[in-house]
Amino acid sequence: MAESDTIVDEHFIQPVKAPFQVRLEEAIAAGAMALLCVITMANVVVRYLTNISFAFTEEISVWLMVVMTLVGASGAFVKGHHISINFLVDRMKPATRWRVRLSGLLASTVMFATLAVFGVRMAYEDFRYDVTSPALDVPQWLYTVWLPVLSLLIVVRLVQLVFVFLKQKAV
């Protein structure tokens, strides 16, 4: 395909350099993904060789996927890869575009802060009423406590982005 035949307009794909490091998110996601791969592979091998399934691994796998989703969201916000409606926003006047993007960051911050508050309440209720997980019979709060912790990580990253965004406007 020739250079002029490209389908994607270069305006829509702009490499974004993260304003600060996201090594924590990348390390957690890599660890969760590696553990998920090991668990899934072990389950497949055991099922193939013995016709017995490690059904209890589903509980851990779901938890690992939630962890990967939340740390992935944190990294996506920092790198500017989060979901946005560029088609409309890019056609606005610069001042309006800036306000819309700032509003989006603030709305995301409020949403993840709310998720953290309700996540704390959920984890506390699991702890308070001694709820156990269905398959492994371990305390459920060991799984649910990560929702508010990782939501707060996202809030911290979003607040950092708001400050970077405001600083860029001041320059």
- For 9-57, what is each residue's pLDDT tens digit? 444 334 456 677 888 899 999 999 999 999 999 999 999 999 888 888 8
DSSP string computed for 109-143: HHHHHHHHHHHHHHHHHHHHTT-B-TTT--BTHHH
Structure tokens at 103: 């509003």
d(CA 34, CA 64): 10
Q: pTM for the complete prediction?
A: 0.84
- For 156-169, what is each residue's pLDDT tens digit? 999 999 998 898 88
Q: Where are the domains of the chain?
A: 21-170
Q: Is 114 left (phi over 0), alpha (psi -120 to 50) or beta?
A: alpha
Query: Which carries the bigger pLDDT value, residue 14 or residue 90?
Result: 90
The neighbour count for residue 154, using CB atoms within 10 Å, is: 25
**Number of Cα atoms under 13 Å in the Cβ half of residue 156:** 14
